[in-house]
Amino acid sequence: MAQFYLAEMYFEGKGVSKNYSRAIEWYIKSANQGYADAQLELGYLYYYGDVIKQDKDKASELFKKACLNGIEDYDELCAEWR
C-alpha cells in the first residue's frame, strides 16, 4: 500500500516533484505485489496511453487482476471477470 501512495505522490506532485516515470515505477511495484488499487490505476494508464505507451491488452490484464484481487466499487468493469 505504501508503494501505491508513493506512486500517487509522484503522479500528482504532492510533497515531491511531479515525476511520471517514478510514479509508474512505483505503480508497477505495487501492482506486482497484488495491490488492486495499483493494478486498476496502472490499467488506466495503459488504457489511455497519456503518460505511458498505450497497451489495451496490458490494461485489460491489469483490470482483470484488480477485479480478482477485490477492487471495490467497480462492479460494471469487473462483471465479466466475476
pTM beyond 0.85, yes or no: yes
Neighbours of 71 (CB within 10 A): 19
Helices 36-48 & 2-12, crossing angle to 10 degrees?
30
Could you give the residue ranges of the DSSP H alpha helices within the chain?
2-12, 20-32, 36-48, 56-68, 75-78
Residue 25 in contact with residue 42, Cβ under 8 Å? no
Which domains occur in the chain, in start order? 2-81 (1.25.40.10)
Residue 8 in contact with residue 27, Cβ under 8 Å? no
For each of the chain's 82 residues, which pLDDT tens digit applies? 999 999 999 999 999 999 999 999 999 999 999 999 999 999 999 999 999 999 999 999 999 999 999 888 888 878 876 6
